[in-house]
Amino acid sequence: MGEYQESRLDLFAPLLQLRLDRKIQERLSPVTNFEQAAQIRSQGDRIQAVSGQLHQSTEQETASGIAGELRGMAGMLVQSLSSLKETSTLLVGLVNKEFAADQRLEMPGERTYVEACFWRNRVIGDLFAASSYYRLTAELLSLAVKTLGKVSPSAKPGDNSLLLNHAATLLSDAAKQMGTVGTELGEYEARSQNLERALASLETKK
């Protein structure tokens, strides 16, 4: 294989393996992230509406019914933040390993290999950005869930309304983060394909 030793091409194996993980690739799809941003925004809007409804309510039965609805929303948010935390942890672990591999990288002068390394770095950058946004979104969702947990049928409507408004604001911020990561990942697919093409060229030189 000449100067293209197997150990050099092994540098790209983790990213190529990630491309085969359909679950992760769906998670990294801009469409998926935009859809989740819309879902989170919708939940925030609903909570905002509930806040207005609760503020106007003086009946204990109505307040209790709203509290039940909020528990259902909180359950869905917990599922979302758990998924985001899991994905963020996976990506952080991969990125850290790739950064460590960079320290051992000896760049040869061959143009095709340099090109592959360039696209590898761009893909790693996309993954690093995604992991950061996912972590921040999960933190915002967690705060929203905790805030919703403080809503009580026995509390004053005005106090509950303030809590709901705060939760809605947190969800609005979370939706913005998901929208941002969707935009950031807009070039991920193209960069990954460029990496694969560069590696295919290297394979032909074995």
Token readout for 168 is: 């809605």
Q: What is the pTM of this model?
A: 0.84
In order of start, what are the domains of the chain with their CATH numbers? 6-203 (1.20.120)
Report the Cα–Cα distance between both ends of the chain, in Å, rounded.
4
CB-CB contact of 120 with 195 (8 Å) = yes
Tens digits of per-residue pLDDT, 80-128? 999 999 999 999 998 888 877 665 556 566 788 888 889 999 999 999 9
Q: Cα separation of 10 and 138, whole Å? A: 33
Is pLDDT of 60 > 70?
no
Is pLDDT of 159 > 90?
no
Nearest Cα neighbor of 171 from 30, 36, 63, 72 is 36
Q: Cα separation of 143 and 99, whole Å? A: 31
pLDDT above 70 as % of the chain: 85
Q: Which residue has the higher pLDDT, 205 or 20?
A: 20
Q: Cα separation of 32 and 70, whole Å? A: 25
- The CA-CA-CA angle for residues 172, 170, 63, to 5°, reads 100
**pLDDT of the residue at 57:** 62
Residue 7 is which amino acid? Answer: S
pLDDT above 90 as % of the chain: 48
Q: Cα separation of 130 and 27, whole Å? A: 10
Q: Cα separation of 65 and 84, whole Å? A: 29
Tens digits of per-residue pLDDT, 46-59? 999 888 877 666 55
**pLDDT of the residue at 1:** 43
Location of structure tokens 């697919």: 189
Q: Cα separation of 206 and 201, whole Å? A: 9
**pLDDT of the residue at 88:** 93
Q: pLDDT band at residue 3, thresholds of 50, 70 and 90?
A: very low
Is pLDDT of 177 > 80?
yes
